[in-house]
């Protein structure tokens, strides 16, 4: 006997009721109401979900509702209705071991698709798209940067012309492909504070490469400028911006499918998650651009070590050598801490050619790559096949 | 007054959620509509008022058809956009024109698929009204604003005179106007959309009704603006103080440069990392608090002005502080478990939202009957593909 309530078809009024099931038939007694009898096959039983009230629909449309889910399950165990696919789903849901097993499968699949599936897919999509997509992405980015961040260069015309000449005559021809992007070189000043300026080089998908004055000032050799420009060309050729956009949107779609019900929570999660993931991917892109720079630098006889050197100098410049901050203020401020840090960093500075990469634990791959190309360069090779590690 | 009650729990929902994800992955996304139905049924089915629960009736099959349609439309949109960027602009305009229809359809479907005590809800708001509220009104506001600016510039004698004294006199009221225009727009949008949704909804033969005004919504938004300015200043001071204590004044100046270096892939100095992290943390917290405030106040106003059949009335007891603390701890929990705590977070938030709804039904819920056959057939076959949550009333 199962206790519950009986609602007449489509009505909110109900009366307490008892359901008896035996030998393929049923009897339903509703208080102050008639008794219904019939065959068990005439009942439609809703599939089980957690412990929410179970509905059994009678042939006349009235509904018997009970919270005694277990009694229903055992009474209808021989009846095919409560099994089927959703019955199977409920067995999965009830089983904690299976749930834990599902966690591992889910994590495994999610990890694998982020680690290999997504980069491969977005790479394929990015290379399949026409050049116009790449151009569209650049849009007015340079105008925007000019308006908000960059100022006109203070380098003299002669130096600019010299660098540009060298870039187009020697560096650009290194990359030969069917569809070569049209590279353009722009000189800009990126101001920081009162007197400082930021050393940087950046590439837009359209092939526009921007180098800042401070970067040119910091570069101590032609090789250093060349290899950074090659690195930026690597970003353009690899269509990294496009890949990043595709990856970003794929992540947003995937995450909102998993966390669909409470959308604002999902928004927050997506924001933080995609920030972390995209910084992970951009590391991969940096390594790819490095590879491009190293490979072509060997052909042109540029020392691969220049990349580590100049990047290291740029970082140190950003952190500690800004003329308007640390020097002036440290005399007035009596906190000793920052000075010690600076001294330590100076030690690191002299650590060696690959200091830049080795201070970044996550870029072990980049360091190894740098070393490999450095060896090849010293042996006078123009290509550097990957040596087999055992 | 009787409060709604939620009987679900995080662990039970966790098992449902993880199986949903697993099956969605294994079937390459095909299972998704069925997964959504199971989640919804779980939340509705565990929501009780006066010992009777709510129910969600849509089937995976219904949602599947519309899910496929939505996917095809989306694929066409993306595909066409890549090859002919011009046409994708036209498609976007087209979408703007069908948006009110989508809202209207979603409302009809979602109300129709919900029931309480064996009686279905429904929605009989007019389609034309949806166009007026979700398309006509926003367009009218944009036009009015453009005209206002145009008039301002003409009277002021062109943009050049803005720097002169005459221009400045005009710029100040314009500025104040723009500052007020933003909350005014959203207050008006709240009034129109909530009135549309509530007055169109029915439970069986009983009609919901509400007469919401512009002013209370506007005051809530103005207070929220004031609150966010105040809290932002406080957060700014707190972060500044923290940064001063941790890294010292001289290095704060190079903060921008450090962030720049980080974007280039540099390893951040641990102390700076703490400072940057706390900037984000403080401002996320401020944003959450203001959103919680708006939600609590809006809901209290809307509920207390809503009746069913003029005999059943509602009240919201949702408190800003409590809602905020649940949201914030959920957020932290989600970050530290990489999203695995989502089911517990969702249940906590839903439980508080539901249990802070009170219903006064002196004559009870007897005597209601589902309206049979009055809905059009399309509503039964085609589900709600676009997941639009109009009005944001967590019911």
Quick check: B312 and B360 in contact, CB under 8 A? yes
Q: Give phi and psi for A221, each to the nearest 5.
A: -150, 165
Cβ-based neighbour number of residue B335 at 10 Å: 15
pLDDT of residue A350: 36
pLDDT of residue A14: 87
**Are A10 and B120 an interchain contact pair (Cβ–Cβ within 8 Å)?**
yes
Q: How would you write chain B as a 3-class SS string?
A: CEECEECCCHHHHHHHHHHHHHHHHHCCCCCHHHHHHHHHHHHHHCEEECCEEEEECCCHHHHHHHHHHHHHHHHHHHHHHHHCHHHHHHHHHHHHHHHHHHHHHHHHHHHHCEEECCEEEEECCCHHHHHHHHHHHHHHHHHHHHHHHHHHHHHCCCHHHHHCHHHHHHHHHHHHHHHHHHHHHHHHHHHHHHHHHHHHEEECCEEEEECCCHHHHHHHHHHHHHHHHHHHHHHHHHHHHHHHHHHCHHHHCCHHHHHHHHHCCCCCCHHHHHHHHHHHHHHHHHHHHHHHHHHHHHHHHHHHCEEECCCEEEEECCCHHHHHHHHHHHHHHHHHCCCCCHHHHHHHHHHHHHHCEEEEECCCCCCCECCCCCCCCHHHHCCCCCCCCCCCCCC
pLDDT averaged over chain B? 81
pLDDT tens for B106-127 read: 888 888 889 999 999 989 999 9
Shortest Cα distance, chain A CAs vs residue B370, angstroms: 5
pLDDT of residue A266: 43
Tell me the average pLDDT across B130-153: 84
* Chain B residues close to A273, C-beta within 8 Å: 339
Quick check: A53 and A67 in contact, CB under 8 A? yes
In total, chain A counts a number of residues equal to 390
pLDDT of residue A389: 45
**Best residue in A129, A318, A342 for a mutation probing chain B (most B CBs within 10 Å):** A318
* Chain B residues close to A314, C-beta within 8 Å: 264
pLDDT tens for B154-163 read: 766 555 554 5
pLDDT of residue A325: 39
Query: Of all residues in chain B, what percent carry a pLDDT higher than 90?
Result: 35
To which residue do tokens 């957060």 refer? B235
DSSP H or E segment with residue A15: strand A14-22
User: What is the C-alpha separation between A265 and B347, in angstroms, rounded?
Assistant: 12
For residues B202-221, one letter each, b for 16 or more C-beta atoms within 10 angstroms of the residue's C-beta and e for the rest, the string is bbbebbbbbebeeebbbebb
pLDDT averages per 10-residue partition of chain A, 390 residues: 87 88 83 80 85 88 88 74 70 78 79 77 77 68 77 87 88 77 86 77 83 87 88 84 72 61 44 51 75 84 83 75 42 35 38 42 63 82 63
pLDDT tens for B214-230 read: 999 999 999 999 999 99
* Chain B residues close to A326, C-beta within 8 Å: 250-251, 253-254
User: What is the C-alpha separation between A198 and B258, in angstroms, rounded?
Assistant: 11
Shortest Cα distance, chain A CAs vs residue B30, angstroms: 12
To which residue do tokens 């890549």 refer? B82
The three-class DSSP label of residue A51 is: coil
Shortest Cα distance, chain B CAs vs residue A319, angstroms: 6
User: What is the C-alpha separation between A2 and A28, in angstroms, rounded?
Assistant: 10
pLDDT of residue B164: 54
ipTM: 0.73
**Are B257 and A196 an interchain contact pair (Cβ–Cβ within 8 Å)?**
yes
pLDDT of residue B197: 92
Residue of A7, A269, A286 with shortest CB distance to B265: A286
Of the listed ranges A13-22, A322-331, B40-49, B239-248, the least confidently predicted one is A322-331
CA A271 vs CA A255, B165, B308: distances in Å: 10, 45, 39
Query: Of all residues in chain B, what percent carry a pLDDT higher than 70?
Result: 78
Q: Report which listed range, A277-291, B49-63, B298-312, is most confident.
A: B298-312
| Sheet with B47-49, edge to edge strand ranges | B2-3, B357-361, B312-316, B306-308, B206-210, B201-203, B119-123, B114-116, B52-56, B47-49, B5-6
Q: Domain A2-82: which topology?
A: PH-domain like (2.30.29)
CA A116 vs CA A274, B16, B174, B320, B330: distances in Å: 16, 28, 54, 44, 30
- A-B contacts (CB, under 8 Å): 192
Q: How confident is the model at residue B269 (pLDDT cuts 50, 70, 90)?
A: low
**Are B22 and A325 an interchain contact pair (Cβ–Cβ within 8 Å)?**
no
Task: List the one residue out of B230, B231, B252 whose CA is nearest residue B241.
Answer: B252
User: What is the C-alpha separation between B235 and B287, in angstroms, rounded?
Assistant: 11
User: What is the C-alpha separation between B169 and B14, in angstroms, rounded?
Assistant: 61
CA B300 vs CA B223, B287, B319: distances in Å: 15, 20, 9
CATH 2.30.29 residue ranges for chain A = 2-82
pLDDT of residue B386: 52
* Chain B residues close to A264, C-beta within 8 Å: 291
User: What is the C-alpha separation between A125 and A142, in angstroms, rounded?
Assistant: 25
pLDDT of residue A137: 65
pLDDT of residue A38: 85
**Are A99 and B14 an interchain contact pair (Cβ–Cβ within 8 Å)?**
yes
pLDDT of residue B5: 94
**Are A333 and B248 an interchain contact pair (Cβ–Cβ within 8 Å)?**
yes
């Amino acid at each position: 006997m199962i206790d519950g309530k009986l609602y007449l078809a489509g009505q909110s009024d109900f009366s307490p009721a008892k359901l008896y099931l035996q030998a393929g038939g049923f009897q339903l007694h509703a208080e102050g109401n008639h008794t219904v009898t019939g065959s068990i096959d005439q009942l439609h039983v809703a599939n089980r979900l957690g412990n929410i009230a179970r509905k059994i629909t009678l042939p006349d449309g009235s509904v018997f509702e009970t919270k005694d889910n277990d009694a229903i399950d055992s009474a209808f165990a021989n009846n095919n209705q409560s099994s089927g696919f959703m019955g199977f789903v409920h067995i999965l849901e009830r089983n904690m071991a299976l749930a834990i097993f599902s966690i591992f499968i889910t994590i495994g699949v999610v990890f694998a698709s982020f680690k290999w599936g997504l980069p491969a897919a977005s790479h394929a999509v990015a290379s399949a798209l026409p050049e116009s997509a790449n151009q569209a992405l650049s849009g007015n980015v340079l105008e925007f940067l000019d308006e908000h961040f960059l100022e006109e260069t203070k380098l003299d015309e002669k130096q600019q012309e010299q660098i540009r000449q060298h870039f187009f005559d020697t560096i650009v021809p290194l990359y030969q492909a069917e569809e070569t992007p049209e590279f353009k070189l722009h000189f800009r000043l990126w101001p920081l504070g009162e007197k400082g300026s930021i050393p940087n080089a950046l590439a837009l998908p359209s092939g526009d490469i921007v180098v800042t004055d401070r970067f040119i000032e910091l570069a101590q050799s032609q090789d250093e400028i060349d290899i950074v420009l090659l690195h930026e060309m690597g970003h353009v050729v690899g269509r990294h911006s496009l890949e990043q956009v595709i990856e970003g949107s794929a992540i947003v779609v995937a995450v909102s499918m998993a966390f669909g019900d409470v959308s604002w929570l999902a928004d927050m999660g997506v924001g933080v998650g995609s920030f972390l993931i995209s910084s992970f991917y951009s590391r991969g892109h940096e390594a790819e651009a490095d590879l491009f720079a190293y490979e072509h630098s060997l052909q042109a006889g540029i020392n691969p070590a220049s990349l580590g050197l100049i990047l290291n100098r740029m970082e140190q410049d950003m952190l500690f050598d800004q003329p308007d901050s640390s020097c002036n203020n440290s005399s007035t401020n009596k906190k000793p801490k920052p000075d010690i840090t600076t001294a330590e960093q100076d030690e690191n500075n002299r650590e060696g050619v690959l200091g830049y990469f080795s201070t970044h634990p996550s870029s072990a791959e980049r360091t190894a790559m740098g070393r490999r190309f450095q060896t090849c360069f010293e042996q006078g090779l123009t290509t550097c096949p990957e040596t087999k590690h055992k | 007054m009787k409060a709604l009650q939620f009987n679900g729990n995080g662990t039970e929902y966790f098992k449902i959620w993880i199986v949903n994800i697993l099956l969605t992955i294994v079937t390459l996304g095909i299972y998704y509509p069925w997964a959504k139905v199971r989640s919804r049924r779980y939340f509705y089915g565990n929501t009780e008022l006066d010992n009777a629960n709510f129910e969600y009736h849509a089937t995976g099959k219904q949602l599947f058809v519309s899910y496929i349609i939505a996917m095809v439309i989306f694929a066409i949109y993306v595909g066409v956009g890549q090859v002919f960027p011009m046409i994708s602009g036209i498609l976007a305009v087209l979408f703007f024109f069908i948006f009110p229809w989508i809202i209207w359809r979603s409302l009809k479907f979602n109300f129709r698929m919900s029931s309480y005590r064996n009686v279905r809800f429904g929605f009989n708001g007019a389609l034309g009204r949806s166009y007026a509220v979700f398309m006509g009104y926003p367009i009218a506001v944009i036009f009015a604003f453009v005209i206002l600016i145009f008039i301002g510039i003409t009277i002021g004698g062109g943009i050049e005179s803005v720097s002169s004294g005459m221009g400045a006199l005009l710029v100040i009221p314009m500025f104040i106007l723009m500052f007020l225009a933003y909350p005014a727009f959203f207050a008006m949008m709240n009034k129109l959309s909530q009135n549309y949704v509530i007055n169109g909804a029915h439970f069986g033969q009983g009609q919901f009704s509400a007469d919401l005004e512009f002013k209370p919504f506007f005051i809530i938004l103005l207070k929220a603006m004031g609150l966010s300015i105040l809290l932002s200043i406080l957060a700014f001071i707190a972060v500044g103080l923290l940064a001063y204590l941790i890294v010292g004044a001289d290095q704060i100046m190079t903060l921008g440069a450090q962030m720049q270096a980080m974007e280039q892939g540099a390893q951040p100095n641990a102390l700076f990392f703490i400072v940057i992290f706390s900037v984000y943390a403080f401002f996320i917290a401020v944003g959450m608090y203001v959103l919680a405030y708006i939600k609590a106040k809006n809901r209290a106003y809307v509920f207390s002005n809503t009746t069913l059949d003029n005999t059943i009335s509602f009240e919201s007891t949702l408190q800003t502080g409590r809602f905020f603390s649940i949201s914030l701890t959920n957020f932290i929990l989600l970050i530290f478990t990489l999203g695995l705590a989502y089911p517990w977070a969702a249940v906590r938030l839903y439980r508080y939202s539901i249990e802070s709804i009170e219903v006064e039904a002196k004559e009870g819920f007897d005597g209601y009957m589902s309206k049979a056959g009055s809905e059009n057939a399309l509503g039964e076959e085609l589900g709600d593909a676009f997941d639009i949550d109009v009005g944001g009333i967590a019911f």
